[in-house]
Amino acid sequence: RHPERAVVVTLAMAAGPPPPLDPGELPTFTDEGFTEKFLRKTRENPLVPLGCLCTLGILTYGVICFKKGNTHRSQLMMRARVLAQGVTIASLVGGMLATTFKSRQ
């Protein structure tokens, strides 16, 4: 049905296999453990772990207030938790965009 497609396949097959890669061209990766990677990522974007800790702290305090029967403070903390999560996600996206633009330069 598509004779031009058959010609392209035939020409590609006639060219032969691609040349082998030179080992010097391949990227090298260092073995990096969890702790090293976590510290590197924290240095690259310190707002994400800080936001996670703030979210966890606010959530914990909100649960404590709920268990003590202080529903007004508990509701306030749950709203603050949502705000802290939003800031954490915004800093995560901002860090990803900054890393993307830095790698393009």
Q: Which of 61, 47, 62, 60 is nearest to 94 (CA)?
A: 47
Range of the domain at 86: 74-100
On whether residue 49 sits in a domain, the answer given is no
Is position 105 within any domain? Answer: no
61, part of any domain: no
Q: Is residue 47 part of a domain?
A: no
Q: What are phi and psi of 31, to 5 degrees?
A: -75, 120
Residue 93 lies in a domain: yes
What would the pLDDT profile of 38-70 be if each residue is shown by its tens digit?
898 888 888 899 999 999 999 999 999 999 999
Residue 15 belongs to a domain = no
CA-CA distance, 48 to 24, in Å (whole number)?
36
Cα angle at 92 between 77 and 54, to 5 degrees? 25
- For residues 93 and 48, give the distance between their C-alpha atoms in angstroms, rounded to a whole number: 10
32: in domain = no
* Number of independent structural domains in the chain: 1
The pLDDT mean for the chain works out to 83
- Smallest CA-to-CA distance from 73 within 62, 84, 81 is with 62
Residue 32's contacts (CB-CB under 8 Å, 6 or more residues apart) are 40
pLDDT digits (tens, 9 = 90+) for 3-51: 555 555 555 556 667 677 676 666 666 788 889 988 988 888 888 999 9
3-state secondary structure of 33: coil
pTM equals 0.62
Instruction: Tell me whether residue 86 is in a domain.
Output: yes
